[in-house]
């Protein structure tokens, strides 16, 4: 059974969007990729309107089973950028919810580890790995496009990674703890480490 995922790299000036199909044995294929752009000198309302219209079009045209969005923490970028990303993220989540589509958030470290096995991979490494995974002739450009596809791949490979580490309860804490089992690949191990770090950061923010 084929599963379709839309990856969104949220941004107010450039918003990456990538659609992939996931088949058996985690084999993924490119369906569509684009970068939604808005003029930086325009007012906020029409810019968000342009992005919202584009997101609606993507959801209606490609009918994904899930949407994967980058989670950005305030300390990673300046306040204006964070606000723009948060506003775009809200639009995407709202439109997905209206259509009954699951939306999930992944940190940059989770995404990098998922596609490269290294949570601190640079933009070039992510682009090259996305090229290899999707069997493309050239790396997807610009970086926003590659990041959107990487987000979709991260979501596509989430379940297989979960299978190599059953969740167990830590006595007395009530929190699930990831435990890698034998056979996990280096990429999966790195991804799981990134997930654990991200979960720890989310708990601190509560």
10 alpha carbon, distance to own chain's centre: 10
> Closest Cα partner for 123 from 149, 88, 103, 105?
149
113, 119 in Cβ contact below 8 A? yes
Q: Which of 21, 70, 147, 195 is catalytic?
A: 70
| Mean pLDDT (the chain, rounded) | 81
Q: Which of 7-11, 40-44, 174-178 has the lowest mean pLDDT?
A: 174-178
175-193 average pLDDT score: 44
33-56 average pLDDT score: 97
Known catalytic membership, residue 122: no
Q: pLDDT at position 40, please?
A: 92
Q: How far apart are CA 95 and CA 41, in angstroms?
A: 26
**pLDDT surpasses 50 at 176:** no
Known catalytic membership, residue 70: yes
Known catalytic membership, residue 61: no
| pTM: predicted TM-score of the whole model, two decimal places | 0.76
Q: How far apart are CA 194 and CA 127, in angstroms?
A: 19
């Amino acid at each position: 059974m084929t599963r379709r995922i839309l990856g969104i790299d949220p941004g107010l000036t450039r918003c990456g969007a990538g659609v992939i199909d996931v088949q058996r044995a985690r084999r993924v294929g490119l369906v569509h990729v684009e970068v939604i752009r808005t003029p930086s000198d325009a007012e906020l309302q029409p810019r968000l309107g342009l992005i919202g219209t584009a997101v609606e079009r993507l959801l209606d045209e490609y009918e994904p089973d899930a949407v994967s969005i980058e989670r950005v923490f305030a300390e990673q970028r300046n306040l204006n950028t964070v606000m723009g990303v948060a506003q775009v993220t809200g639009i995407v989540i709202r439109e997905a919810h209206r259509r009954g589509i699951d939306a999930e958030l992944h940190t940059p470290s989770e995404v990098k580890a998922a596609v490269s096995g290294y949570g601190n991979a640079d933009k070039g490494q992510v682009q090259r790995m996305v090229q290899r995974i999707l069997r493309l002739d050239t790396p997807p450009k610009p970086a926003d496009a590659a990041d959107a596809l990487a987000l979709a791949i991260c979501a596509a490979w989430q379940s297989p990674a979960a299978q190599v580490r059953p969740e167990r309860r830590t006595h007395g804490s009530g929190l699930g703890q990831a435990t890698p089992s034998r056979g996990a690949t280096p990429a999966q191990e790195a991804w799981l480490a990134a997930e654990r770090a991200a979960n720890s950061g989310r708990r601190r923010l509560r």
